[in-house]
Amino acid sequence: MSKLLAPVALLVIGAGSVCLAQPGTGGTISSGNTTFTQGNAPTSSLALGPLANLSVGGDANPDHLVQSWWWARIDTLDTSENCLNSATSAVWAGDTSTVTYAFAIPLTSEVVQHSRVEGLATGGRLIEEITQINTSSVTQRWTAFHYLDLNLAGTAAGDVAVLDGDRIRISDGPWVAEYEGSDTYQVGSFASVRNLLTNAVVDTFDNSGLPYAAANWTGGYQYTFTLAPGESITLTARITIVPAAPSLITALLGLSVYARRARRKD
């Protein structure tokens, strides 16, 4: 997906409506030559989520990121996924941000959202976390999702992705990204994965979409958990972006050519 992000953007387009975002809840954090900028939090569970920027290795290198955001549902109550929305406080300082949310309907709960960047020698890492706290008097069963839309190498097209152990590896030209989360994922071209999270029904990721060849990659991870009253859990997604080694670039280019030939034979 191509995009234009201003750090103080005020509008996020929701499902069938315009959803205001909260001024002052977005911001920028940096570590070394790695910088992450997040748009303001939306005010509606129907929103598409804010846009974001991530540059690594210095200002001359491209912005690799379009969006990194969270959706969730209470499995026993919700009939669709909800965009994380309506922050109660936000602090952006140094290499870390802390944004908090409190929900009272249908069950009380709190969410603390942390974003942190790590500057590496020639690349960088973005660590996304949410801590879900059950502040109600009943047990809650949740399913949460982290969604990622990369414009790796600064372009929407040309992404190649494979499953590499417990992570997804995405490449585009001279850059490689490793995306880590849970053991349940979904991959597809923009905006197929986000459409699952913003439609009007319950959706479940099914470990499909890999390997992925030479298009506009998006993906996400699913986390399912149960919290007794007073319990909490922290969910983590990591995105590491570094220059590709020359041998890796050659191998990935070969994979892309093979995929194109395979499509022509079908």
Burial grade of 108 (CB within 10 A; 0-12, 13-18, 19 or more): middle
Which pLDDT tens digits describe the chain residue by residue (266 residues)? 655 443 333 222 233 333 568 999 999 999 999 999 999 999 999 999 999 999 998 777 899 999 999 999 999 999 999 999 999 999 999 999 999 999 987 789 999 999 999 999 899 999 999 999 999 999 999 999 999 999 999 999 999 999 999 999 999 999 999 999 999 999 999 999 999 999 999 999 999 999 999 899 999 999 999 999 999 999 999 999 999 976 444 444 444 444 434 444 44
- The pLDDT of residue 105 is 74
Supply the DSSP string of 112-155, one letter for each residue. Answer: EEEEEEEE-SS-EEEEEEEEEEE-SSS-EEEEEEEEEEE-GGG-
- The pLDDT of residue 211 is 98
- The pLDDT of residue 58 is 72
- The pLDDT of residue 117 is 99
Q: SS3 for 107?
A: coil
Residue pointed to by tokens 């804010």: 50
Residue 63 and residue 182: Cα distance in Å, rounded?
25
Residue boundaries of the structural domains of the chain: 12-265
CATH C-level class of 12-265: mainly beta
CB within 8 Å of 28: residues ≥ 6 apart: 7, 35, 36, 37, 38, 92
- The pLDDT of residue 254 is 47
Residue 125 and residue 29: Cα distance in Å, rounded?
12
